[in-house]
Amino acid sequence: MLLLSINLYGQTGTVEAELEEDFKYEFKSLKKEHDKTVLIDSIHNTIYSKPYGKETAREMLRIIKADGFNIKFSGDKLLEKQLNTESTDLLVIHGIPNNKLILNNENSNETLYTSPLTTDEIVNIGKFVYNGGGLFLFLSHFPEGSGALPLLEAFEIKFRDGYAFHSQYHTSEDGLCGHFMMNQQNEMLNTEHQIFSNTIDKNTIPENIRFYCGAAVFRNPEDVILPFPKNTINYTPKTNYQPNSGEIKYIEESSNNYAGMIGFEYGEGRIVVCTDQGIFRSMNLIIKDKKIPVTIHDPEADNAGLFLNILRWLTKLQ
């Protein structure tokens, strides 16, 4: 049993979690048709920098290998020696929290948030994608989601580091952290996007996607893979909120254009950004005596099919 600090109901806390070890997604492999390589960032504070990180992404990593990809974990900063199109086809950055610097003196206390990514890394990642590489970027949950903000800005992606919520589609009884079941019927699954229209196996196109606690991104309408409903509200906790003070706790913004996942071409390469970092992980969270599958093995959803299509689209296999 693991103890994880998570944010599933709009409140950060520690919950019990167990690793899921049985689910195995069945699909027709491309193992004999390519020799592509996936580089996974483990040098920054991604999920793979933690002792249990690989285990919580067990099925995601298995699918990558089963489909014929080589997997490497970065042992150094994401500069040209580590990341280039001659040795790597896809870069995965799976959650990248902010760095925090606590500033205090006798008069005030503040937290300074900065990105773990250096300017040189951002430039090199941009060149890598422009020259034909793929980037799969998962954002961390609030209040640490903007660790990737300089990279998002480099690719002209707008970002709201809060909780995307819509009361009509919220599938949980608590919190402002949106829990969604996304499909074509509720217009939260865009099957016209290239990752699906170019698929080489129609059996892998998902019908339902389980999505927990994502922030909001937006770029161009044609980029959207998982759109949030119209009039989705983004709740951003107020800086330095004091309980019982009578002041508002959240700053609210609403939009018809928020998305939980987008994908687009950039130069010769391709990018997918997802705001739910748990969407393809293999855990069961124990909350209020209930076991919540997070999330690739959720029996009511087809998250594994979504992942396979993203993997193949980003690496130009479809």
- C-alpha 280, offset from chain centre: 9
Q: What is the pLDDT of residue 9?
A: 44
Q: Which of 232, 233, 217 is nearest to 187 (CA)?
A: 232
Identify which has the larger pLDDT, 24 or 141: 24
Task: Tell me the pTM.
Answer: 0.92
Quote the pLDDT of residue 143. 63
Among 183, 195, 182, smallest CA distance to 263 is for: 195
Pairwise pLDDT comparison (152 vs 166), residue with the higher score = 152
β partners of residue 272: 136, 263
The single-letter DSSP state of residue 87 is T
Residue 6, pLDDT > 60, answer no
What is the Cα–Cα distance from 297 to 25, expressed in whole angstroms?
8
* 217-255 residue pLDDT tens: 999 999 999 999 999 998 887 777 677 777 777 888 999
Token pair of 188 as six digits:
């939260």
Phi, psi (5° rounding) for residue 42? Answer: -125, 0
Q: Taking the mean position of all CA atoms in its chain, how far away is CA 159?
A: 13
Residue 237 near residue 143, CB atoms below 8 Å: yes
**CB-CB contact of 99 with 115 (8 Å):** yes
Six-digit token string for 281 = 């992980």
pLDDT digits (tens, 9 = 90+) for 263-276: 999 999 999 999 99
Task: List the alpha helices (DSSP H) in the chain.
Answer: 53-56, 58-66, 119-130, 149-154, 194-197, 303-314
- Predicted confidence at residue 11, as pLDDT, reads 47
Strand order from edge to edge, sheet including 12-19: 2-7, 12-19, 282-287, 290-295
* Residue 256: strand pairing partners: none
Does the N-terminal peptide bond of residue 295 adopt cis geometry, omega within 30 degrees of 0?
yes
- For residue 2, pLDDT beyond 70: no
Tell me: the pLDDT tens digits for 180-218? Answer: 999 999 999 999 999 999 999 999 999 999 998 888 999
pLDDT above 60 (res 8): no
Q: In b/e form, how buried is each residue of 195-213, taking b as 16+ CB within 10 angstroms?
A: bbeebeeeebbbebbbbbb
Token code pair at residue 303? 């998250």
- Give the contacts of 126 (CB within 8 A, at least 6 positions apart): 154, 155
Q: What structural domains and CATH numbers belong to the chain?
A: 2-8+24-314 (3.40.50)
Per residue in 64-93, pLDDT (tens digit) is: 999 999 999 998 999 999 999 999 999 999
d(C-alpha 316, C-alpha 71), whole Å: 17
Q: Beta partners for 162? A: none
